[in-house]
A and B are shown apart, each in its own frame.
Chain A
Amino acid sequence: MTACERLSDRIPDVARGRERWTAEESAHLAACADCRAEWDLVTAAIRVGAGAPDPRDPSAMTDAVLWRLAEARRSRRSRRSWGLGIAAAAAVLGVIWAGRQSQENTRQPAQVEIALPELEPLETAELDSLLETMDAPQVGTSALDEPSLDDLDAHELEQVLGTLEG
């Protein structure tokens, strides 16, 4: 280890007043520009730290930190109880859903009943006849209403004709 390296290792402690230079080290420092530059740098860095704004009163700082820690714990507990609540609700829903699934698997195929009160007065024969016509739709007709030009009023008709004529 060179004299400069040895001095470099001791600069922070001497600069902070923990140790003192020996006569030999003082002589080296006086003669070595590089070590002096390092000394100036470290002492300037210490002054920079000393120029930091004064921290808040430690008891106020402690109160603030402890309050935030308590808040964080409360928030974590609250989140945990919410999580447990949601998990419990999900479990209950799961059980209900599973129960329904098993019921539906054992049930007969569903039958849909649609009330058509207007058909109730019809006799059985009339009903059969009507159902036959519904089972076999006429060729060229659709169950959906097709739009017709007859449905349009005069103004709408003019608009359509206008688009056809360009």
Chain B
Amino acid sequence: MPDLPGDSELVEAYLGGDEASAAELVRRHSAAVGRFLYSSGAPADDVDDLVQESLFRAFRALGGWRRTASFRSWLFTIAGNLLRDEFRRRKGRQVIPLDDRDYSDRTDPAGELAASEVEERVRQGIASLPRLQREVFLLRAQEGAGYEDIAAALGTTPGAARVHYHHAVKRLKELVR
């Protein structure tokens, strides 16, 4: 079985006119961008549109992707910028709805409700973090990205990324406790 092309090869192929490469990039990363946006406080109903807008912006700016960061981490910075723009467009109104989860239709209502409440508090806590802390935390905790990659994507150093991560964890522990 031949090796799958890396993101870098797919980007080059797309820039050379191969639209199938764009489809593969979308297939690989759209769900992760959706997770990032939703975890950052985007309303569930808006996630799909925001993913599409993030990918559109990314494909328009492919020349700006420096290969020092992974394509996914770079996509997350674009999605983060989009979310910030969206937040400003809504004039600072909280993007995250307080209760947009469906708590019904659970097999163990009490236990599931408690877990859902914790998740919702975590989600709101993540949304309330300073941007760098939020992005570092999500890249590290959800995507398992290394500090080198995170640092390259966010324009900082691996040491600073590590500090941001630990500040985020400390703050979230306080918020969720």
Contacts and interface: CB of A to CB of B under 8 A. Distances in A.
Contact of A15 (B37, B51, B56, B141): B141
A72 B60 contact: yes
Interface in B33-68: 34-39, 44-45, 47-48, 51-52, 55-56, 59-60
A44 B122 contact: yes
B128 interface: no
Contacts of A59: 23
A39 to B, nearest CB: 11
Interface in A54-102: 54-56, 58-59, 61-62, 64-66, 68-69, 72
Nearest to A72: B60
* Size category of the binding interface on chain A: 35 or more
Nearest to A69: B59
Contacts of A41: 122, 141, 169, 172-173, 176
B154 interface: no
A14 B26 CA distance: 27
Most buried by A among B45, B115, B119: B119
A72 B52 CA distance: 14
Contact of A69 (B34, B60, B118): B60
Contact of B39 (A18, A42, A49, A58): A49
Interface residues of B, number: 42
B176 A44 contact: yes
A53 B173 contact: no
Contacts of B122: 41, 44-45, 48
B116 to A, nearest CB: 8
B101 interface: yes
A53 B27 CA distance: 15
B172 A66 contact: no
Contacts of B142: 12, 45-46, 49
B126 A48 contact: yes
Nearest to B47: A53
A65 B141 contact: no
B60 A45 contact: no
A116 interface: no
7 contacts: A12-B144, A42-B141, A44-B122, A48-B126, A51-B38, A55-B47, A56-B52
Interface of B: 19, 22-23, 26-27, 30-31, 34-39, 44-45, 47-48, 51-52, 55-56, 59-60, 101, 115, 118-119, 122-123, 126, 137-138, 140-142, 144, 166, 169, 172-173, 176-177
Interface of A: 8, 11-13, 15-16, 18, 37-38, 40-42, 44-56, 58-59, 61-62, 64-66, 68-69, 72
In the A-B complex, the 6 residue pairs with the smallest Cβ-Cβ separation, listed nearest first, are A52-B38, A49-B35, A58-B27, A62-B23, A44-B122, A62-B26
